[in-house]
Amino acid sequence: MKRTAVAGFVAGNWVNSGGVTSDLVDKFTGEVIAEVAVTERAQVHEAVEALAASQDGMVLPPRQRAEILHRAAGIVQLRRTQLIAAVQADTGFALSDATKEVDRTAETLTLCAEEAKRLVGHMVPISGAPNAAGRVSYTRCEPYGLVCALTPFNSPLNTVAHKVGPAIAAGNSVLLKPASLTPLSAHAFVQVLLDAGLPPEKIGLVYGPGGQLGKWLAEEPGIGYYAFTGSTQVGRELHRAVGMRRTQLEMGSLSSTFVCHDADLEFAADAIVAGALRKSGQVCTSVQRVYVHETVEAELIRLVSAGMGREVPGDPGNPATTVGPLIAVSEADRVEEWIQEAVRLGGQLVHGGMRRGSVVEPTLLVDVPDDARIVASELFGPAVVLQSYASLDRAIAHANATPFGLAAGIFTNSLDASFRAIEALDVGNLYVNQTSSSRADLMPFGGHKQSGFGGAEGPAYAIRDMSREKTVTLTMP
C-alpha cells in the first residue's frame, strides 16, 4: 500500500504538486513505498523568490545559527532510529551503512555549529601602505544570500548536511534539491532543521527529475551559489548554465589504492574489503582499482577473497546483511554486465560476480585489461579489480592516466614510498596506510581534474567558501 505523498517545502509551507507524483520503490523488493510530489516550475520560482527575499529582511546572527545547528545535531541523535529507517527505505543500505550515515550527519551538523561562531575576516596591514596614516582596514564575511544544494542518492543525509549545514552557518538561506531516488531522508532532514528552530523562510525543498529541475534552478537569477555532488557530465552542464555565479562541484571519480611489498597485508585487505563494499560500492571514493606489488599479489588476493567471503549480501531488512542492493535493478544489470565484459576480455573472476535482482555479490577480479570498462570508468558497485606492479612509479602513472583525481590510498611502511605517492599522485585526497575511502567529515574534501571544481567540502572550508569577503577601510579624521 502506498504511503501519503511526500511533500515539498516552498515559501514556508509543506506543499504538494498540482497532481504530478513519482513512485518511490523499495530498492530490494521493488514495491512502491511512497508517492513523491513533483515540484512544478512555478513552485520552484516561488521557493527561490521567498528564500531570496528572506535575506533582505533577516540574516541570522552567528550565535543563533550555531544554536540552531547544535539543536539539529541533537535532534538527529534523538531520532536516530527513525532516520536510519528513512535512509534504508530510500537507499536499500545495509543497517550498518545506514547507521553510519545518520551518526555522521549528527557529527557534520555539530562541526557546522562550532564553525559558525568562528567565521571572521582578518585585519589588513594597511599601515604598511604609503600615506596610510590614520587608516584602519579589515575584512568581514557576508553570506551570498541563497545557496542551492543539489545532492546525490548515495549519501542522502550526510551529503545534505555537508551542503545545507555550512550554508546556514554562513548566514545563507538554502534551497535543497535531493536525488529523486532518496526523498524521505531529505524530508526528514528539513523537518529536523525546522524543529531545531530554523525560520521556515530560510529553507526550501523541491523534488523532481534532475534534468528538469536542474535546468529550472540554473535559470533562477536569485540563486547566488550552487553546491553540487554528482556526475562530471552534469556538473559541467551546471557550471556552464550558471555562468559567473559561484559553484562547489564534487563530481566523478576512479579511485585507486596501492599495496606495497612491505605493507601489513591483513590490515590492508580488511580495509580494502570495507572500502570497496561500503554502501554496496556506491561511493565516489570506493576502492575500485587496487595496485599490488607482484611479490605479495597472491597473498593479497587470498586475503581479499576471504574477506569478501565473510560478507553477507542480500535483504537490507536482515540485520546480518552487510551488502545491500544497488539503487536500481538497472544499475545492478550494468554492474553485472561490466563484470562479465571483464571476464570476456581475459580477466579472472576470483570471487563473486553473481547478481540476484538488485543485489550484486562482492566481486574480486584480477588480470583485467585496461580497455575493460571496469578498469577505465567509475563502477559504483561492489567490485574490485586487482592489478600487480613491479614499479611503484609506473603504477602511479597508470593511476594518474584518468580524467579524474578525487582520492587514493597507499599501504606501506616506507617513508620513501609514502612521499613518492604524496608528490606524484594527482588527487585531492591521499591517505597513507588507509584506502581511498577514508574521509573524515572535518577534513577539506574535493578533487583535482574532472573530479572537482570550486570550493571544498568539510564544514570549516565550505562555510568560508559560502561567504563573500568585503574589505572595509576606516579613515580617522
Could you give the residue numbers annotated as active site? 250, 284
Closest CA to 276 of 251, 248, 300, 304: 304
CB 30 within 8 A of CB 329: yes
Task: Return the SS3 of 329.
Answer: helix
What contacts 80, CB < 8 A, 6 or more positions away?
Answer: 99, 102, 103
Task: Please count the other Cβ atoms lying within 10 Å of the Cβ belonging to residue 195.
Answer: 13
Beta strands per DSSP E along 230-272: 246-250, 256-259
DSSP state of 445: B
- Can you state the percent helix, strand and coil of the chain, rounding each to 5? 40, 25, 35
How far apart (Å, rounded) are the C-alpha atoms in residues 143 and 467? 5
- Look at the alpha carbons of 434, 334, 331, 454 in this order and tell me if their dihedral is positive or negative: positive
What contacts 68, CB < 8 A, 6 or more positions away?
Answer: 60, 113, 168, 193, 196, 197, 198
Beta pairing class for 359-360 and 355-356: antiparallel
CA distances from 416 to 48, 226, 400, 432 (A): 53, 40, 19, 12
How far apart (Å, rounded) are the C-alpha atoms in residues 153 and 142? 31
CB 413 within 8 A of CB 317: no
How far apart (Å, rounded) are the C-alpha atoms in residues 397 and 385? 17
